[in-house]
A and B are shown apart, each in its own frame.
Chain A
């Protein structure tokens, strides 16, 4: 078997928040690796440090100590602008609150990261249209983000995350703000993307959602308490079968 290419190497990551009086350890010596093509769910209760971990993995924040190598690049040594570039090219962000630009069309929203990467306009438009079609929103290209539903907004965000073919898709509670029927739709897109070879890292506190992943990392009090292959994986297809059986 060929050696898998590691996308994420986290070595002894710690994050300590200091105020005048107290020191809060949000992450305590966390080490793990994520390889290309994996679909990982990072789970934990609130306050477990999973958001902090997500920020570090997303190159939005730097660890207090430890090493984080993203697709061969040591993030720790990079400047603000270099971090912007890393986020732009290597990470496809999907946020709980969708974070689309308000009063801006879906097409423009999807095109935005490509503008920062310096992609010519025609190509931007072509790519954005193709990806919006893939998430089933070809008929919503010129709707602004406040004219479409939460599920649709999240699908726009997924399209946006894919435009520069990132090394990994980093999703923070991707279904936290949308109705459950639409959540299934979003998860089935994730599965499809993973089948196509995309690496997906998803942070969630919902066990149902985490069950869609192939590997689940549990984290509590800033430490990894369990890291295992998801043996009873629920795919969107299997759930549908289950539901049909009961009808």
Chain B
């Protein structure tokens, strides 16, 4: 048997004799491996950014929102009025064991005007508990407090994106100034800290007013769009979900949970939904990449078959001089594995660079897992073996006499 390094050297020498063809054969694998690496990385980083965003909304969060009664009701009105401030009050007074605090909320879109500038954005009617439950911090001024709520004060806290829209720069300090919301004057008392990294998060585009003001002065409603419930810890989030759910069922006098006129969802649920969506997306992309990898493998097989035909004489000679089947198989397999392996290395480099570039352009986090790189190498070598096997076998089974005669 020829020694290992000699075999590698000999194969590399043979492959270099036909650089153009070798390059083209490798190209398929480079594209395949490169796209697998890049797409997995892009998928993972988008998954991470979605997860981060949901986490930033609050991790121990249970959200109660109104829903359609399934008891044959026609889906007529766009807003359900089943959730009221009284529900929130009752929840608060019930002091459920897994519940830490309650935030009743009403939100809708309204026109906001500051001087010559105006914008249409989400207006949240909130109580003081909102900021702690949703991880909202103010960079200047203060958030809505209980006395604002009790006095139905015309005060507003702006998200940084709104400040930018209205005053041209997010670093502008508008505290103390007056803006008009739906034609009514509001005094700015605070600006929230930006939550989103690059792509603006919805919290950054919102403005916050006292719930009482929103309900009575701006929207003229008595119901809520949601009640946010903070669980005492992330371990009891399911418990909190159940406690809130059954409490409200009892309060609404509904015996069948399936016909509830509200929905209770935890942030964990949203997280897992989002995660499953993004991972489906990732596997779809990887599937497409895997197909190109197979096409690349077929390219290798094609080239190796051409090589076998071209080198029939040489193979015959080698067999005449004493090469056994195994020797010939090894020689051809080594060549195809070297092709796919070097293609794999190039592919990983190109894939990582692409993923990095994508992350830079979208200013998202760049993640690359070692496992996907190792997998790519294993796959590329595997492809070399699988698609190199048939040509190698074909070469080895050539009869020396036929092969020597071949012109």
Contact = CB atoms under 8 A, between A and B. Distances in A.
B3 A121 contact: yes
A121 B6 contact: yes
Given A84-B324, A99-B317, A115 B401 contact: no
B311 to A, nearest CB: 9
Given A102-B314, A116-B327, A60 B400 contact: yes
Contacts of B324: 80-81, 84-85, 116
A101 B320 CA distance: 13
A57 to B, nearest CB: 12
B404 A95 contact: yes
A61 interface: yes
Interface in B311-332: 313-314, 317-327
Contacts of B314: 101-102
A68 to B, nearest CB: 15
A80 B325 contact: yes
Given A101-B314, A101-B317, A116-B322, 5 more contacts: A61-B399, A84-B323, A115-B6, A116-B327, A121-B6
A20 B6 CA distance: 46
A115 B1 CA distance: 7
8 contacts: A60-B400, A85-B324, A88-B322, A112-B318, A112-B321, A113-B321, A118-B1, A121-B6
A245 to B, nearest CB: 42
Contact of A61 (B1, B317, B318, B401): B401
A11 interface: no
Interface string A80-98: 1100110111000101000
Contacts of B313: 99
A88 B400 contact: no
Contact of B322 (A55, A95, A113): A113
Interface in A61-109: 61, 80-81, 84-85, 87-89, 93, 95, 99, 101-103
Contacts of A95: 404
B73 interface: no
A112 to B, nearest CB: 6
A87 to B, nearest CB: 6
A241 B317 CA distance: 38
B20 interface: no
A201 B5 CA distance: 37
A84 B320 CA distance: 7
Given A81-B324, A84-B323, A85-B324, A55 B317 contact: no
Contacts of A81: 324-326
Contacts of A93: 320-321
Nearest to A116: B322
Q: Is the interface of B mostly helix, strand, loop or mixed?
A: helix
Contact of A116 (B17, B321, B401): B321
Interface string A114-144: 0111100100000000000000000000000
A118 B404 CA distance: 24
B74 interface: no
Contact of B321 (A61, A88, A102, A121): A88
Interface of A: 55, 58, 60-61, 80-81, 84-85, 87-89, 93, 95, 99, 101-103, 112-113, 115-118, 121, 160
A79 B314 CA distance: 21
A101 B323 CA distance: 14
A117 B322 contact: yes
A87 B324 CA distance: 10
A102 B313 CA distance: 10
A117 B2 CA distance: 9
Contact of A99 (B323, B327, B399, B404): B404
Contacts of A117: 322
Nearest to A80: B325
Contacts of A88: 321-322
Contacts of A103: 17
B312 to A, nearest CB: 12
Nearest to A60: B401
Given A95-B404, A115-B6, A60 B320 contact: yes
Given A118-B1, A121-B3, A121-B6, A85 B322 contact: yes
Contacts of B2: 115-116
A213 B268 CA distance: 94
B404 A87 contact: no
Given A102-B314, A103-B17, A115-B6, A55 B401 contact: yes
Nearest to A81: B324
Nearest to A108: B10
Interface in B274-326: 313-314, 317-326
Contacts of A85: 322, 324
A160 B17 CA distance: 24
A80 B399 CA distance: 9
B9 to A, nearest CB: 11
Contacts of A55: 401
Contacts of A102: 314
Contacts of B321: 87-88, 93, 112-113, 116, 160
